[in-house]
Amino acid sequence: MKRFLILLLLAAATPSVFAQPAGSPAGTDDRAKAASHYKQGLLYFTNGDYDRAITEYQAAYALSQEPLLLFNIALCNDRANRPEKALEGFQKYLDLAPDGEVADEAREDVARLTPVVEEIRAKRKAEQDAEAAKKAEEQRTQDEARKQAEAEAAKKREAERQRRIADAAPLEKRSKVERWGGIGAAGLGAASLVLGVKYGLDAKADADAISGHTAGQWTDDLIARDAHGRSAETKMIVFTSIGGAFIVGGGVLYMLGAHTHQKAEEMRLSFVPTHGGAAFGLSGAW
C-alpha cells in the first residue's frame, strides 16, 4: 500500500497533492516549489536516502501544509528504523486528516509501532533507573568512605588528645608537689620569722634592762638576763635567717611548680586537624 501510494503520488505529478484549495493564500510559486521539493524527496526516498527525503518533504509541507507529506515523513522515519519519530508522525497525520486517503494505513502503523515504542521507552526508563541506581550506589559508597575517613580522623584526634593528657599527668602531679611544697616552705619560713622577731624582742628587752644598770655589781639576775639576751639574739639571727631562706626557697619552688603546671597545660592544648581546617582542643582542668 505504501509503495503504491508513493507511485501514485509520483504519477499524479503533484496536482492532486498540491492543488490549491479555495481561499488558500498559497500562490502558484509556492505550489511549484512544494512540488519540486516533493519530487526530490520522492527520489531520495526511492534511493533509500531517508534523511534527505525528510528534509525535502518538510520543505514541501512548509509551503503546502499538505497532511499527506506528514505521512511520507513518518514513513521515512519508519524505514530509517526510528519508530518513536515514525509513530509521532503517523499520529500527527491522523490528527490533521483522520479521514485522509491513507488514514487506515496510518492507523495500522500506529497499532504496529505503539508496542514497539512502549518497549523502547520501557527499556530506556529501565536503563535510566539502573544508571540512577548506580550513581546512587556510588554516592552512598563515597558517603560511607567519607564518614569512615572522618571517624578514623576523629579517632586519631581523640587518641592524640588522650596521649597528651597522659603525658601531662606526671607534670601536673610534679607541679602540685612543687607548688604545695613551696607554700609549705613559705609557711615554715613565716613561722620561723615570727620566732625570730619574738627572740629579737626578747633580746632587746634584756639589752634594755642591762643597759639601764649604771652602777654597782652585777647581780645573778643581771648575769642571767645578759646570758638570756645573748641566747635570744643568737636565736633571732638563726630563725630569721632560716625563715628568710625558707620563704625565698618556697617562692622559688612555687614558681617552679607554676612553670611545670604551664608546661602541662601546653601539652593538653592540642592542635588537631579537622575536615575543614584545624582547631585547638583543650583537655584537662585548669
Residues of the chain with pLDDT under 70: 1-27, 212-216, 222, 268, 270-286
d(CA 95, CA 167) in angstroms, rounded, equals 86
What sections of the chain are H helices per DSSP? Answer: 2-12, 15-18, 28-46, 50-64, 67-79, 83-96, 103-211, 220-268
Q: What is the pLDDT of residue 120?
A: 95
pTM for this predicted structure: 0.52
Whose grid coordinates read 584526634? 157
CA-based end-to-end distance of the chain: 98
d(CA 50, CA 78) in angstroms, rounded, equals 9
- For residues 89 and 74, is the Cβ–Cβ distance under 8 A? yes
User: Tens digits of per-residue pLDDT, 35-70?
Assistant: 999 999 999 999 999 999 999 999 999 999 999 999
- For residue 22, the SS3 value is coil
